Every structure is written in structure tokens, then in C-alpha cells.
Amino acid sequence: MCGIRPELTIDRRNLAHLFAAGAGLTLLPIRVRAADVAALALTCIDYRLVDDTVRFFESVHLTNEYDQVALAGASLAAVSPKFPSSNAAFWDHVDIAKQLHHVKKVVFVDHRDCGAYKVAFGKEFAVAHDPETAQHKSVMQQAKTILAQKHPDLGCEVYLMALDGTAERIA
């Protein structure tokens, strides 16, 4: 028994890679970020769409340019009386994102087959494609209206994401 676990040994080649990686890091230009970002995003918490949501924000040219709040139901969390603590958390974070990063707009990203919508609407939850779109549109319009009242200086974009990660702009 030599006492050294094989997975902890570093051979010369691995060591060279480590040094190369270290040298590369020091040569990378350091991006000095301004304190401002473009947007605050409100998304659902749903695990199925976490990676798609990151890709979505890349597609709208907001990579690393948004603060993010994730609350079950997304726009529903902002307005539904069924989720009062989520309502408060979201609107608090609009204030925080404005103060910290001077966001210029809020981007709401709802998604289809949302568990929070099922909870909030119960038997009224719309399963079929078009009624489901209409249900989200109605909630998102409420969120947009309240946002305009509370923060008339902020823009607003509203998207509905399908489970394959494609998103359509609703308003």
C-alpha cells in the first residue's frame, strides 16, 4: 500500500495543462462591467426550461445583460392573489434591479404546461394550444399594466415559451 490514491496523482502532462490554463486566464482581457444592465427577467422556476431560458436570452442579445428573478408561474407570480409572497418578491426585485443596475425593461417569460398556472386556475387551466396562449396573454397583460403604473419608465417584453424551448413574443 503506497498510500497515494491514483486519482490524486498529477502527471507531467496534466501539470502542463494546468499551467497552460493558468497562463491563458491571465492573458484573457478582463471585462470591466458597467453597473448597468439592460433588463430584469422574470422566469418560472421550471427545471425543464432552465437551459432553454439561457439560450433564449442569448437569442435576444441579452447574454449577461439581465438580472433574473425565478418564481413559479413567472408573470402569474407578479399578479396572482394566489401567490402574495411571490407578488411582493417580484415587485421588490424590480426596485432592487433599478437601484443596483438601472435596468431599462422587464422581460416576462412564461411557459406552456406551467404547474403554477395549473394551481392558480385549477379546472379552468387551458390545456389546448390557443386557449393556453390566451390565458397567458391575459395574465401577462395584467403584469404589463401594473408595471406601467408602478414604473412608467420601464419597457416591457412578454414571451411564452414552449416545452421545446422556442419562445413567441406575446406583447
Among 71, 114, 120, 158, binds Zn ion (CB under 5 A): 114
Question: Nearest CA to 65 among 25, 96, 29, 107?
Answer: 107
Binding residues for Zn ion, how many (CB under 5 A)?
3
Asked whether position 106 contacts Zn ion by CB under 5 A, the answer is no
Asked whether position 170 contacts Zn ion by CB under 5 A, the answer is no
Asked whether position 77 contacts Zn ion by CB under 5 A, the answer is no
* SS3 at position 43: strand
Of 13-21, 22-30, 114-122, 146-154, the segment contacting Zn ion by CB under 5 A is 114-122
Asked whether position 46 contacts Zn ion by CB under 5 A, the answer is yes
Q: Which three cell numbers stand for residue 88?
A: 411582493
> Please, are residues 110 and 161 in contact by the beta-carbon 8 Å criterion?
yes
Asked whether position 44 contacts Zn ion by CB under 5 A, the answer is yes
46 vs 132, beta carbon nearer Zn ion? 46
E-strand ranges in the chain read 39-43, 66-70, 105-111, 155-161, 167-169
Q: How buried is residue 88: exposed, middle or buried, by Cβ count under 10 Å (0-12/13-18/19+)?
A: exposed
Smallest distance from Zn ion to CB 47, Å: 10
Query: Which residues contribute to the site for Zn ion (CB under 5 A)?
Result: 44, 46, 114
